[in-house]
């Protein structure tokens, strides 16, 4: 059992929940030198499979905490989307271009969530500024002046204690205690649906195309995907009063699975689990109460049709960690925390809305709707460029905030489509990629070389200047935005852009760093 956290060991940040969102948040805070305590009810990773997909944008976040290489070794690229009818005949197929990697990673990656969590836990054990404490149940979170008190109970002994922190991140899932404690509530963005999730393992060759299959059947919608070398997942819509108890073993599952197995016997499968999932489309009304923040499933829930549920939580962590570090160091104003909901809520709502829409298009309606799909989808499949639109992993730009300057700022800064989007993780002339050079710092990507004085001023603020040739990938990216300089935040989001690099040079905030001299900053 871990020793109690006493008052003089008070952590600057407490993360409640050691799932992927909480663990990544802690690892990012570690990069900024912020001491963090992670609390969880369990000592080890939850062993059952859940999320199965992350895109290339989110892989960059994993790369920023040195977890991407291990993740890629444990995952497999997704090849696209195939829409099939009740006889599993292909209605349309949208292939991903395996060479299209603007962020340096496959645009879709299939994996087993426990594998990812083990990778993140190993990274957590090596983090210099992070302490993990399992076996504690968080009961309440209360503001006291300019601090937050987290009330916990030791699961083994029943002992209750309080932990005082400067900031608390609630990453404790859909039934979040932290969300309840601060009085935030979920609002519905679409109807809920009951689905049966089936995970199996087999050495037998199922010989399916290596992408996601969406069954467009008005009687019972379904999804199939291969997760790993021997791992497969099906998701079937539950009808009427059906429950997982009706499908507790392979014999009862056989009628659902047999069309997908061809010559493979059900006896050749090993059932890992069946579970009922209620697919919800929800977002919380308040993402923050003073020094308490909500991340991941505590803040939003999305249907799985575009595979963005888990990734949204990691995006939360990436958006918030540098702001928490910056405010604590006195490098950013307290109002910087307000930008968390300003930026993340519209993005999350947009992705949830897209998932609801895709779900309706793929599985909604009756026989008449299905007849329309049979006639229209094969035609759409022949439209040039449509496959790239369907499989594009690019998510919407962040909404305007003090750190996303979409409006005109004086005459030297430009309204541009680049602001609020991610800078490409392009390969530079020396063979490195942008992320390895900028490394969680403010940076300026430009085709203009700064003066010696400008370089010194930027270096004092911890800013990296990446000068690129106009004909390089980043030079062409700037040209498409009709600018020649972009100011990029520590989370790789373009904060501002313009035709005058000098105008950006004067607006760079100081980057939070892991400088131990700042470790006691308020």
Q: What is the per-residue pLDDT for 241?
A: 86
3-state secondary structure of 109: strand
Q: What is the per-residue pLDDT for 518?
A: 38
Pick from 41-45, 215-219, 313-317, 459-463: least confident: 215-219
Residue 116 pLDDT > 50, yes or no?
Answer: yes
Q: Which residues of 450-464 are buried (b: 16+ CB within 10 A; e: fewer)?
A: beeebeeebeeebbb
Residue 3 pLDDT > 70, yes or no?
Answer: no
Q: Which residues of 400-437 are buried (b: 16+ CB within 10 A; e: fewer)?
A: bbebbbbeeeeeebbebebbbbbbbbbebeeeebbbee
For the residues 13-23, what does the mean pLDDT come to?
Answer: 97
Q: Which two tokens stand for residue 99?
A: 């060479």
What residues does 321 pair with on adjacent strands? Answer: none
Q: What is the per-residue pLDDT for 2?
A: 46
Class of domain 7-75+111-187+282-358: alpha beta
Give dist(CA 52, CA 76) in Å, integer: 10
Q: pLDDT band for position 13 (50/70/90)?
A: very high
For the residues 122-126, what does the mean pLDDT come to?
Answer: 96
Q: Which two tokens stand for residue 283?
A: 């977002």
The string of pLDDT tens digits covering residues 187-201 is 999 888 899 999 999
Q: What is the per-residue pLDDT for 388?
A: 60
Domain 397-522 has CATH 3.40.30: yes
Nearest to 202 by CA among 269, 260, 249, 264: 269
Task: Give the Cβ contact number of residue 366 at 10 Å.
Answer: 9
The string of pLDDT tens digits covering residues 338-378 is 999 999 999 999 999 988 888 777 766 666 666 666 666 66
Answer for the pair 483, 498: CB distance below 8 angstroms, yes or no.
yes
For the residues 47-55, what does the mean pLDDT come to?
Answer: 90
Task: Please state the φ and ψ torsions of residue 76, each to the nearest 5 degrees.
Answer: -140, 140
Nearest to 509 by CA among 423, 435, 442: 442
Ordered by start, the domain boundaries in the chain are 7-75+111-187+282-358, 397-522
Give the Å distances, CA to CA, from 231 to 56, 62, 72, 322, 504.
Answer: 22, 23, 16, 37, 49
Q: What is the per-residue pLDDT for 4?
A: 52
Q: pLDDT band for position 413 (50/70/90)?
A: very low
Nearest to 182 by CA among 369, 341, 381: 341
∠ CA 15-20-25 to the nearest 5 degrees? 45
For the residues 26-51, what does the mean pLDDT come to?
Answer: 94
For the residues 380-397, what does the mean pLDDT come to?
Answer: 68
Pick from 115-129, 321-335, 400-414: least confident: 400-414
3-state secondary structure of 465: strand
Answer for the pair 60, 425: CB distance below 8 angstroms, yes or no.
yes
3-state secondary structure of 195: strand
Q: What is the per-residue pLDDT for 394?
A: 84
What torsion do the CA atoms of 98, 72, 340, 354 make, to the nearest 10 degrees? 40
pTM surpassing 0.85? yes
Residue 66 pLDDT > 90, yes or no?
Answer: yes
Domains 7-75+111-187+282-358 and 397-522 share a fold: no
Give dist(CA 522, CA 520) in Å, integer: 6
Q: What is the per-residue pLDDT for 86?
A: 86
Q: Rg of the chain over CA atoms, in angstroms?
A: 24
- Counting residues of the chain whose pLDDT is more than 90, the rounded percentage is 68
For the residues 60-68, what does the mean pLDDT come to?
Answer: 96
Give dist(CA 85, CA 213) in Å, integer: 10
Nearest to 300 by CA among 335, 236, 343, 352: 352
Mean pLDDT, all residues of the chain:
88
Pick from 139-148, 225-234, 367-376: least confident: 367-376
Pick from 32-46, 304-318, 375-389: least confident: 375-389
Q: What is the per-residue pLDDT for 263?
A: 87
Q: What is the per-residue pLDDT for 52?
A: 92
For the residues 41-63, what does the mean pLDDT come to?
Answer: 93
The string of pLDDT tens digits covering residues 163-191 is 999 999 999 999 999 999 999 999 999 88
Q: Map tokens 């909480």 to a residue.
A: 22
Q: pLDDT band for position 100 (50/70/90)?
A: confident
Give dist(CA 401, CA 102) in Å, integer: 26
Q: What is the per-residue pLDDT for 304?
A: 86
């Amino acid at each position: 059992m871990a020793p109690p956290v006493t008052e003089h060991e008070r952590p600057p940040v407490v993360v409640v929940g050691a799932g992927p969102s909480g663990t990544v948040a802690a690892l990012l805070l570690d990069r900024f030198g912020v001491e963090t305590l992670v609390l969880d009810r369990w000592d080890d990773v939850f062993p059952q499979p859940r999320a199965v997909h992350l895109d290339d944008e989110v892989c960059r976040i994993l790369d920023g905490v040195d977890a991407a290489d291990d993740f890629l070794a444990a995952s497999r690229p997704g090849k696209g989307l195939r829409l099939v009818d009740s006889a599993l005949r292909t209605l349309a197929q949208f292939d991903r271009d395996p060479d299209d990697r603007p962020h340096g990673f496959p645009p879709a990656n299939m994996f087993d969530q426990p594998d990812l969590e083990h990778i993140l836990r190993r990274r957590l054990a090596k983090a210099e500024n992070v302490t993990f404490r399992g076996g504690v149940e968080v009961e309440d979170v209360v503001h006291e002046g300019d601090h937050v008190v987290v009330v916990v109970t030791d699961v083994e002994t029943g002992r209750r204690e309080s932990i005082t922190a400067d900031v608390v991140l609630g990453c404790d899932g859909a039934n979040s205690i932290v969300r309840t404690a601060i009085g935030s509530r979920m609002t519905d963005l679409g109807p809920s649906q009951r689905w049966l999730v089936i995970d199996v393992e087999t050495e037998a060759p199922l010989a399916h195309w290596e992408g996601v299959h969406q069954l467009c059947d008005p009687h019972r919608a379904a999804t199939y995907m291969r997760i790993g070398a021997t791992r497969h997942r099906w998701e079937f819509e539950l009808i009427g009063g059906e429950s997982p108890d009706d499908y507790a073993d392979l014999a009862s599952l056989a009628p659902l699975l047999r069309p997908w197995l061809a010559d493979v016997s059900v006896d050749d499968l090993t059932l890992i689990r069946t579970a009922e999932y209620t697919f919800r489309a929800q977002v919380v009304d308040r993402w923050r109460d003073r020094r308490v923040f909500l991340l991941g499933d505590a803040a939003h829930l999305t249907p799985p049709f575009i595979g963005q549920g888990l990734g949204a939580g990691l995006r939360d962590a990436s958006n918030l960690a540098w702001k928490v570090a910056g405010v604590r160091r006195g490098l950013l104003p307290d109002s910087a925390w307000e930008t968390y909901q300003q930026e993340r809520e519209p993005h999350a709502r947009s992705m949830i809305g897209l998932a609801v829409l895709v779900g309706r298009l793929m599985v909604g309606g009756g026989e008449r709707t299905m007849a329309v799909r049979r006639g229209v989808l094969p035609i759409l499949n022949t439209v040039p460029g449509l496959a790239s639109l369907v499989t594009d992993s690019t998510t919407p730009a962040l909404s305007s905030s003090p750190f996303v300057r979409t409006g005109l700022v004086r005459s030297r800064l430009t309204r541009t489509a680049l602001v609020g989007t991610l800078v490409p993780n392009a390969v530079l002339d020396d063979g490195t990629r942008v992320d390895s050079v900028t490394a969680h710092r403010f940076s300026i990507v430009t085709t203009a070389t700064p003066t010696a004085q400008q370089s010194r001023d930027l270096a004092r603020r911890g800013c990296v200047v990446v000068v690129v040739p106009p004909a390089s990938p980043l030079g062409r990216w700037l040209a498409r935005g009709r600018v020649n300089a972009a100011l990029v935040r520590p989370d790789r989001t373009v904060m501002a852009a313009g035709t005058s690099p000098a105008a950006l040079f004067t607006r760079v905030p100081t980057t939070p760093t892991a400088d131990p001299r700042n470790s006691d900053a308020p």
